[in-house]
Amino acid sequence: MAEAPFGLLAELTHRCPLQCGYCSNPVELVKRNAELDTESWRRVFDQARSLGALQIHLSGGEPLLRPDLPELVVHANSLGCYVNLVTSGVGLSRDRLRDLASRGVDHVQLSLQDATREGNDRIAGIKAFDRKVEAAAHIREEGLPLTVNTVLHRQNLDNIAGIIAMAEEMGAERLELANTQYYGWALRNRAVLLPTREQLSVADPIVAAAQERLRGRMEIVYVIADYHEAHPKPCMYGWGARQLTVAPNGDVLPCPAATVISSLKIENVRDSSLHDIWYDSPSFNAFRGFEWMKDPCRSCPRKEIDFGGCRCQAFQLTGDAANTDPVCSLSPDRSTVDLILETEMTPSVVPAMAMRKMS
């Protein structure tokens, strides 16, 4: 039987002022009229807490676009949960942050697209850099812990030293440097986003040196660019193991990108309880444990380290979510990834970035 989840990622909305082409939200974004209402989200929080979840991450899209965000913060806080606001910073004024903090926000995670105004605003698709800097100052003044999150890719990886310096300047206690995961909009833009081996070989020692220099002052989490690696990264510490995601329309996902697996029947909180979905649904049990694995994963000692890699990536690149993640050097489909690297690292024509927009 599965253990209780540790956290809930509540994607309150897919609406967002930014247009980042690396976004892992689905290309078909949930419209406002299909979002769960306030009372439905309260029930989701109640059920998540009853399951054992201790953290509620309010995300999106941009959660600040929900008028009921203050009410939802109050309710999550009343359940005894640690409340994390995941935001672009656009719209996070000093007064609004102070109000949300007074209602129970414990931590803020702020996205940063690049270290310079020009680079940040180009990637975000709007003029957002100055508002992010202001938001970071408000967070620091309010005394809340701050995590800065930067998704890394070919367009900003050369500026990684500057990104680390900017996070220091913002007063972040934690910096997440996460190489792009290729789902949703990021998959559409993969040919523009995939980093080169040369970029990674320069970036890796810069990050390692900063991790050592800032130890005890700012934690730096570095998520590898797994297309270039011999082994895949662990997928959420195992499918449906520690966290569940509820999408804006109420779909309940074992991982945030699970909707890409078209063969997977996704349950919805409008129809079933989180308890039943977490413990009994076919979607959450599909890839738990090791019995579902094929060789080479089934007989591999790394299966308890990387859990066979990413199920969503396996489905997108091979058509079967039970296959070994093709990133793995032992996968019979590794040539698929090698071909992508060969063709998309040196395209004959560099495509334009498809910016994330609601249709």
Residues 332-359: what's their mean pLDDT? 86
Compute the distance between CA of residue 168 and CA of residue 172 in angstroms, rounded to an integer.
6
User: Which of 153, 48, 64, 67 is CA-nearest to residue 108?
Assistant: 64
Q: Is pLDDT larger for residue 359 or for residue 187? A: 187
The band of 237, judged by pLDDT with boundaries at 50, 70 and 90, is confident
Calculate the average pLDDT of the chain: 95
Look at residue 349 in the predicted model and tell me its pLDDT. 67
Q: Residue 308 region, left (φ>0) first, then alpha (ψ -120 to 50), else beta? A: left
Give me the pLDDT at residue 187, please. Answer: 94
Indicate the range of 52-61, 78-87, 306-315, 344-353 predicted with least confidence: 344-353
Amino acid at 87: T
* pLDDT bucket at 234, cuts 50 / 70 / 90: confident
Band of the pLDDT at 344, cuts 50, 70, 90? confident
300 marked ligand binding residue: no
The whole-number pLDDT of residue 33 equals 97
Cis peptide, bond prior to residue 289, ω within 30 of zero: no
Range of the domain at 112: 1-358
The pLDDT of residue 347: 63
Question: How confident is the model over 19-35, as a mean pLDDT?
Answer: 95
* Number of compact structural domains in the chain: 1
Residues 222-233: what's their mean pLDDT?
91
Residue 350: per-residue pLDDT:
66
pLDDT at position 358 is: 85
Q: pLDDT band at residue 170, thresholds of 50, 70 and 90?
A: very high
Q: Tell me the backbone φ, ψ of residue 56, rounded to 5 degrees.
A: -125, 120
Number of Cβ atoms within 10 Å of the Cβ of 60: 20
What's the mean pLDDT in 314-339?
96
269 and 253 in contact (C-beta within 8 Å)?
Answer: no
Strand ranges (DSSP E) for 122-238? 146-152, 174-179, 219-223
Letter string b/e over residues 285-305, b meaning 16 or more CB atoms within 10 A of that residue's CB:
bbbbeeebbeebbeebebbee
DSSP state, residue 64: G
pLDDT in tens, 248-290: 999 999 999 999 999 999 999 999 999 999 999 999 999 999 9
Average pLDDT for 241-249? 96
Q: What is the pLDDT of residue 235?
A: 75
pLDDT tens, 288-309?
A: 999 999 999 999 999 999 999 9
Whether this model's pTM surpasses 0.85: yes
Q: Examine the pLDDT at 348 and tell me if it is beyond 70.
A: no
> What's the mean pLDDT in 126-143?
98
Q: Which of 98-107, 179-188, 252-261, 349-358 has the lowest mean pLDDT?
A: 349-358
CA 187 to mean position of chain CA atoms = 14
Distances (CA, A) of 59 to 15, 139, 201, 353, 359: 11, 17, 32, 24, 20
| Residue 16 marked as a ligand binder | yes
Question: In the chain, pLDDT over 90 holds for what percent of residues?
Answer: 92
CATH number, position 7: 3.20.20.70
